[in-house]
Amino acid sequence: MTSYDTAVLAAKAISGKIGLDINIIEIGDISVLADYMVIATGNSSTHVKALADEVEYQLDKAGISVSHVEGHRSNSWILLDYIDVIVNVFSEEAREFYDLDRLWADGKPVDLTGIID
């Protein structure tokens, strides 16, 4: 499975649990951190945790194990590191505060039309 496939599978998992404002940004050309950054929002701390858990479950089911997880206790920003793909699930307030969409604006947004609902 490619890093693109991993990012799309993560976005689909988030979409399946009604995650909000899902973005995938290709950052491989501008950063050594990863190939893709997935950014999404949950509407409560419980929803943020449920979204992150669903990503971890769906990717694990596909044979892709998370390398590192940050933020499970705060539930306002949970980061799942899959080496080539970094998944960020935020509360609305945390997403606005950290503004990763602006930080990675030099990356290439992935068109999710037809990929997620």
pTM: 0.95
- Give, in order, the Cα–Cα distances in Å from 20 to each of 1, 13, 14, 82: 25, 12, 8, 21
Arithmetic mean of pLDDT over the chain: 96
Q: How far apart are CA 8 and CA 112, in angstroms?
A: 8
What domains can you pick out in the chain, each with its CATH number?
3-109 (3.30.460.10)
pLDDT at 73: 82
Confidence of residue 117 (pLDDT cuts 50, 70, 90): confident
Query: 73 in helix, strand or coil?
Result: coil
pLDDT at 102 over 80: yes
CA angle 37, 40, 44 (to 5 degrees): 145
- Torsion, Cα 47 96 8 16, to 10 degrees, reads 30
pLDDT tens readout for residues 31-73? 999 999 999 999 999 999 999 999 999 999 999 999 999 997 8
